[in-house]
Amino acid sequence: MSSVTTLPVKKIQNLVTLPWRARPTVGATPVQVIHTENKWRLLRYAARPQGPAYQTPILMVPSLINRHYVLDLMPGKSFVEFLLARGHDVFIIDWGTPGPEDRYLSFERVVATYMGRAIRKCAAFSAAGKVHLMGYCLGATFTSIYAALDDSRLASMVALAPPVAFDDPGMLSQWMRIPTLDLDAIIDAKGNMPWQWMQAAFHMLRPTLTLTKMIGVLDKAEDDTFLEGFRAIETWGNDNVSFPGNCFRDYIQKLYQNNDFAEGRLTLMGRPARLEQITCPLLSVTFKHDNIVPQESSLPLVAKASSADKAQWDLPGGHVGAVIGRKAAKELWPGLSQWWAERD
């Protein structure tokens, strides 16, 4: 029972001791560092004792501005752990923390050079020389652009909540097109786009969310499992990363403001990145209550790709909860594992 007027002892004890609880263990699955370059690292998760069951490795590309361990949140609640137990060979890019010098880092360098190198290094571990590429949020934008440039090393691509078109009615897209917003002045003054500013913008999408979370904690404070999961997600949610300046400028001007990628005008390394050039097996997953990436932003990926094997899943849930929550462990994770197994 969860009534404020008859609080059980366990609930009161948990609420009072909450600030002094040990920090949650996040991103705990053992990794091996395969490659480092500037601030980013290619990590390979330790395989299960009996070794991988599948020969095609999975390379996960998280958002540049959030920590990679959202996909390996905590023991028992980790998508990576789940996949390893199923026999997959899992790699991930840890983008690291940009320094002041990374204000000059271009979008091209991050997507084509850094991510391209991660793909090639990961593919070297595969007998067929190919990888299953998976991007999440901004990571999915990167992987979609890369696949549109060259999908020869991709056994498949999975895009979780991929922002591809930016003429959607979402608030973020609208804000980035405000005429009085001087992006050049912001980047010239700040260098990298500060994570605090981006976090504030995400908060403004639903300012009442913090209060909603507090009510949720009060409601379920007697549940230790809930509290640990909540604190782990909050640890990740507040561990944000600044966006390298030039990369941010390119991303906003070319993708958000001009919508170059969705409309077929984007070029990287002098080559066109056209959605129609994607021919590898493709799966795009969107979430019905995602207030960060509206479904309209993601739909052009599957609609325009030339892949013979392509699908669009639209699942219930929000941007983060639908990927790492309890329901994901029962539906999304097994679904993706099966999808990859069928395309090994």
| Least Å from the CB of residue 103 to other proteins | 7
288 sits near other proteins (criterion: CB under 8 A): no
129 sits near other proteins (criterion: CB under 8 A): no
308 sits near other proteins (criterion: CB under 8 A): no
Q: Which is nearer to other proteins, 105 or 280 (CB)?
A: 105
Q: Which is nearer to other proteins, 113 or 277 (CB)?
A: 113
Q: Which is nearer to other proteins, 38 or 279 (CB)?
A: 38
| Least Å from the CB of residue 201 to other proteins | 10
Q: Which is nearer to other proteins, 3 or 238 (CB)?
A: 3
| Least Å from the CB of residue 321 to other proteins | 17
**Range in contact with other proteins (rule: CB under 8 A) among 20-28, 63-71, 212-220, 262-270:** 212-220
| Least Å from the CB of residue 158 to other proteins | 26
334 sits near other proteins (criterion: CB under 8 A): no
Of residues 158-177, those binding other proteins (CB under 8 A): 171, 174-175
Question: Quick one: which of 27, 191, 229, 281 contacts other proteins (CB under 8 A)?
Answer: 191
d(CA 187, CA 192): 6
d(CA 125, CA 129): 7
210 sits near other proteins (criterion: CB under 8 A): no
Question: Quick one: which of 5, 17, 50, 238 contacts other proteins (CB under 8 A)?
Answer: 5
Of residues 23-52, those binding other proteins (CB under 8 A): 37-38
Question: Quick one: which of 55, 152, 212, 225 contacts other proteins (CB under 8 A)?
Answer: 212
Q: Which is nearer to other proteins, 111 or 332 (CB)?
A: 111
Of residues 80-109, those binding other proteins (CB under 8 A): 99-105, 109
Structure tokens at 174: 């609208």
| Least Å from the CB of residue 142 to other proteins | 17
Closest C-alpha among 323, 49, 329, 331 to residue 162: 323
Residue 30 has, within 13 A of its CA and on its CB side, a CA count of 4
Write the CA distances from 163 to 140, 141, 147, 299, integer angstroms: 7, 6, 14, 9
Q: Which is nearer to other proteins, 84 or 118 (CB)?
A: 118
| Least Å from the CB of residue 100 to other proteins | 5
117 sits near other proteins (criterion: CB under 8 A): yes
190 sits near other proteins (criterion: CB under 8 A): yes
SS (H, E, C) the chain: CCCHHHCCHHHHHHHHHHHHCCCCCCCCCCEEEEEEECCEEEEEECCCCCCCCCCCCEEEECCCCECHHHHHCECCECHHHHHHHCCCCEEEEECCCCCHHHHHCCHHHHHHHHHHHHHHHHHCCCCCCCEEEEEECHHHHHHHHHHHHCCCCEEEEEEECCCCCCCCCCHHHHHHCCCCCCHHHHHHHHCCECHHHHHHHHHHHCCCHHHHHHHHHHHHCCCHHHHHHHHHHHHHHCCECCECHHHHHHHHHHHHHCCCCCCCCCEECCEECCHHHCCCCEEEEEECCCCCCCHHHHHHHHHHCCCCCEEEEEECCCCCHHHHCHHHHHCHHHHHHHHHHCCC
| Least Å from the CB of residue 117 to other proteins | 6
Question: Quick one: which of 15, 34, 113, 228 contacts other proteins (CB under 8 A)?
Answer: 113
Compute the CA torsion angle 79, 85, 88, 90 (nearest 10 deg). Answer: 50
Q: List residues binding other proteins (CB under 8 A).
A: 1-5, 37-38, 99-105, 109, 113-114, 117, 120, 171, 174-175, 178-182, 185-186, 188-191, 204, 206-208, 211-212, 215, 219
